[in-house]
Amino acid sequence: MAPSRRKGVSKAAAAAAARRQWKVGDLVLAKVKGFPAWPAKVGEPESLGFAADWKKVVVHFFGTKPEQM
């Protein structure tokens, strides 16, 4: 039996492509498990004391307590 062909891109490649398209200050709809999608603003991880990670995007949700962003 021939090996099956993959359809589409891998999850890691899709995450990397998604991370590259967001820039600091962009308005996005962000989702956290267990909550609905909510408007948010992309921020810099270094300004909040986090290390940069290509798999994750730091966001500040609108309607929450104001932070340093």
pLDDT tens for each residue of 1-36: 667 666 666 676 666 665 567 888 999 999 999 999
Nearest 10 degrees: Cα torsion 48, 52, 55, 58: 20
Whose tokens are 């798999």? That residue is: 55
How many helices and strands, by DSSP H and E, does the chain display? 1, 3
39 lies in some domain: yes
Give the integer Cα–Cα distance in Å for 16 and 56: 9
Structure tokens given for 53: 């990670």
34 lies in some domain: yes
Determine if the pTM surpasses 0.85: no
Please tell me which residue, 64 or 60, carries the higher pLDDT value.
60
pLDDT of residue 63: 87
Number of domains in the chain: 1
Structure tokens given for 17: 């492509």
pLDDT of residue 52: 81
Structure tokens given for 24: 């600091």
Residue 40: domain span: 22-68
